[in-house]
Structure 1
Amino acid sequence: MTLLTELHYHPPAALFAALINADGLLIEAHEHYRKQTYRNRCLIRTAQGVQPLTVPVLDGNRAEKVSVSEIEIDYRQNWIHRHWRTLQTAYGNSPYFEYYADYLHDIYAQKPGRLFDLNLQFLQLLLKCFRLPLPVQLTTEYHAHYPAQPSAENNSLSTSPPAVADRRDWLTPKAASTSPKPDTPAASALVRPYPQVFGPGFEPGLSVLDLLFSQGPAAGRFLQ
């Protein structure tokens, strides 16, 4: 099964739980950009509670009419400094922050011009961190729907397209998100509680960085 998803900025850990049983990853590269989603933001936990980190984009007012692969990052704002300082403050004392910090910082330092390129570089790094050597492909055109199974009209294994699990917009930072479709796993059930830097209690739905900084190479054991 190939998992189809949009690109996120430091996505929730649930995405990687879903990838464990996938045979490949298909990235949506031709959708129109959508604001107020994980495409340009992530959620982390600080001493003050859950906090969003948002990558500013140019022409935000017309962004939803632009292809997601063409959205440019607004470097007129000093957002990299703010994000990095926040990550250091929140996770500087976590067991594995220093282990991964340089790899993350190197990507920030490159200042990719487009949000799509930034997110893709972070995704490729995170796949390595979780030891998920999945083939990654980009869509060549936009399709509103993908078949969950290969077409019954073609039984040839050599020519049938692979099954696609459409997980676009499955993960959302909106508090009042809609219920998942019947065949879509609930994100909250895919990540087992793990010790987080700040408590009390376990906060689900955070960026995968929270899990990675806490558990390091053992992070995969908390993905169902």
Structure 2
Amino acid sequence: MDCLIHPTYFPNVSHFIAMMKADKVCLEVYGNYQKQTFRNRAEIYGANGKLALSVPVNYTQKNRQLFKDVKISYDENWQQNHLTSLMSAYSMSPFFEFYIDDLVPLFKIQFKFLLDLNLKCLEILEDALQVYIPKAVTTKFEINPKDIMDYRHLSQKKNTSNTYTPYTQVFSEKHGFKADLSILDLLFNEGPNSELYLVNQKLG
């Protein structure tokens, strides 16, 4: 069955499990943008535990915007900060050097819209995983869509219902296993085994 999902910034493991189990993925680009979601943030595993990487956007609650119209702010050098954080967190991971060169150019492009950044992240991640995910984008917003698995809730930060098979993480001996981080955590630690890992997991 097809699934409906929000395009997020370096999607977490749950997003990829949902996408890879679907016949086709429908990307939700309409609907009002919401703050404090994974649409503009990703969680990685740093030396001190879970670390959130947030993309700053030009958005105020007073002036509601559709997700597809939200613009990225470059008032601060968040791109360099994110890249530095990834290097600090994963430079000792088994497959860091295998993937980092494909990611670096992404942090040198100033995308105007958050949606365009997220779609480019998805493209790069598909290449890294060596998978093809059939995709389409929504043309309108539906509260209760029919004949499709609605996984839009996975973009909410409070979604913590999923528990997955532990894999070795860089700092797992120090802080234990952290589940459902950005797919980057899985890639850097598991490399080519990432696809099989995703296929064998079940969404909660």
TM-score scaled by structure 1?
A: 0.83
Distance in 2, matches of 1:172 and 1:96, equals 29
Alpha-carbon deviation of 1:133? 1.2
- Cα RMSD for the two superposed structures: 1.6
Cα deviation 1:110-151 (Å, max 9, x = unaligned): 21111000000001111222233121111011111111x3xx
Query: Take 2:27 and 2:56, find their aligned partners in 1: how far apart are those partners?
Result: 21
Q: How does 1:71-110 map to 2 (within 5 A)?
A: 71-110=70-109
Query: Structure 1 residue 202 and structure 2 residue 177: aligned?
Result: yes
- Structure 1 gap segments, 5+ residues each: 150-163, 179-185
SS of 2:97's equivalent in the other structure is: helix
Partner of 1:221: 196
* Pairs within 5 Å for 1:1-224: 1-62=1-62, 65-147=64-146, 149=147, 164-174=148-158, 177=159, 186-188=161-163, 191-200=164-173, 201-223=176-198, 224=201
In the alignment, the residues of structure 1 paired with residue 25 and residue 196 of structure 2 have an alpha-carbon distance, to the nearest angstrom, of 21
CA contact (8 A) 2:94 2:189 kept: yes
Identify unmatched segments of 5+ residues in structure 2: none
Aligned residues: 197
Instruction: Name the SS for the 1:20 alignment partner.
Output: helix
Larger Rg: 1
**Which structure shows the bigger proportion of residues in helix conformation?**
2
Q: Distance in 1 between matches of 2:155 and 2:58?
A: 24
Distance 2:153 2:119 in 1: 17
Q: CA deviation at 1:62?
A: 4.1
Verify the 8 A CA contact 1:171 1:187 in the aligned structure 2.
no
Among all aligned residue pairs of Structure 1 and Structure 2, give the percentage whose two residues are the same amino acid.
36
1:192-222 CA distance string (max 9 Å, x none): 2110011232111211100000011111222
| Secondary structure of the structure 2 residue equivalent to 1:31 | coil
- Deviations along 1:158-194, one digit per CA (max 9) or x if unpaired, are xxxxxx11101234323xx48xxxxxxx532xx3211
> What whole-Å deviation, never above 9, does each CA across 1:8-41 have from its counterpart, x for those lacking one?
1111112112222211110001111010000001
SS at match of 2:116: helix
